[in-house]
Structure 1
């Protein structure tokens, strides 16, 4: 199994950490969708990170779809979705909030770094920042309810995705999302980053 993409992408890092947490072996190939476009296109014509190439050659893309697929084949005790229906629904809500925060962070970074400054649209940036902070506010409210992992004695997918998103956003937009405003998410990130499955795939 081959995971294609750079770990500076929170989506790639989310999959890498989850694969390690599920005990699923894989090779990581850090191709960039920018610098290595043609090499990436040879593996996946649409050049989307993460890309997962299964042992039979099947190519999967989109981090959520990849992880939903792998959760079906992982050893039951190592799956990352809660088994209780109420917990599963709440987990899906938290993952959705974390992925929204991730998406909005990426949009702000791309707007600031890839679009010429004279073409940047501040009202749109203000709207995206509002969405970003709203997602983190809701995540903070939920994770403030526990000092441990949200659903189990080990981090499940909601914990992993929230922690990966927080670390990514702090690496690119710390001034926009100040850590003092989100102590529970900052604590979650510190505990997560100390674990072997996180430290094995540091943000680049």
Structure 2
């Protein structure tokens, strides 16, 4: 399999780390949806990162859909989704909040970097900032109620997504989301970033 996309995307990085945790063989091709648009379009005409190219040439896109697919290929000891129904609710909640934080972070970055300054709409940015902080407040409360694991053999897709989302926001928007405001998220992310699957998958 081939994973297409840049690791500075939290969605691409999320998939790459999970693939490593599941011990699945894959190749990573750093193709940008911006700088290499035509090259990406030859692989997936939708030009959507991440894209997973299967061994038979078919493509799958959207990080959650990709993870749902590759989870069917992993061995019983490399599960990234809960096997017990009662654990699904929290995993789904954590994932939804973390993906919302990713989405709002990306939207703010795009608004700043892609839209001309004279066309940026501050009320829209203020709304994004509010939604971003709301997602992280909810995640901070979830971690206060029940800490996430730091052992690599206990990491699931939800845990990866939380750590990757926080890291992305801190890379690009540290002046908007202060580390000190969310100490549990910061501590968890720092621990996660020391794990081999994270270290070997830098967000650059």
Q: What CA RMSD, in Å, does the superposition of the two structures yield over aligned residues?
A: 1.5
Shift of 1:153: 5.6
1:124 and 1:179 mapped to 2: Cα distance? 24
Note the residue ranges of structure 1 that are not aligned, 5 or more in a row.
Answer: none
Q: Tell me if the contact between 1:82 and 1:151 (Cα under 8 Å) persists in the aligned partners.
A: no
Taking structure 1 as reference, are residues 148 and 100 closer, same or farther at Cα in structure 2, changes over 3 Å only?
A: closer
Q: Which residue of 2 aligns with 1:93?
A: 93
Q: Which residue of 1 aligns with 2:156?
A: 156
Q: Which residue of 1 aligns with 2:174?
A: 174
Shift of 1:147: 4.3
Q: Which residue of 1 aligns with 2:72?
A: 72
Q: Which residue of 2 aligns with 1:83?
A: 83
Note the residue ranges of structure 2 that are not aligned, 5 or more in a row.
Answer: none
Q: Tell me if the contact between 1:150 and 1:159 (Cα under 8 Å) persists in the aligned partners.
A: no
Q: How does 1:165-204 map to 2 (within 5 A)?
A: 165-204=165-204
Deviations 1:61-91 (A, max 9, x none): 0000000111122112111011111211210
2:68 and 2:83 mapped to 1: Cα distance? 14
1:87 and 1:152 mapped to 2: Cα distance? 18
1:67 and 1:53 mapped to 2: Cα distance? 13
TM-score by length of 1: 0.96
Q: Judge which range, 72-81 or 21-30, deviates more.
A: 72-81
| Superposed structure 1 runs of 4+ greater than 4 Å apart | 150-153
Q: Judge which range, 139-148 or 189-198, deviates more.
A: 139-148
Q: Judge which range, 16-25 or 77-86, deviates more.
A: 77-86
Q: How does 1:113-128 map to 2 (within 5 A)?
A: 113-128=113-128
1:59 and 1:113 mapped to 2: Cα distance? 29
Aligned residues: 204
Q: Judge which range, 9-18 or 150-159, deviates more.
A: 150-159
Q: Tell me if the contact between 1:87 and 1:151 (Cα under 8 Å) persists in the aligned partners.
A: no
SS at match of 1:144: helix
SS at match of 1:202: coil
Taking structure 1 as reference, are residues 2 and 79 closer, same or farther at Cα in structure 2, changes over 3 Å only?
A: same
1:110 and 1:152 mapped to 2: Cα distance? 33
SS at match of 2:28: strand
Q: Which residue of 2 aligns with 1:44?
A: 44
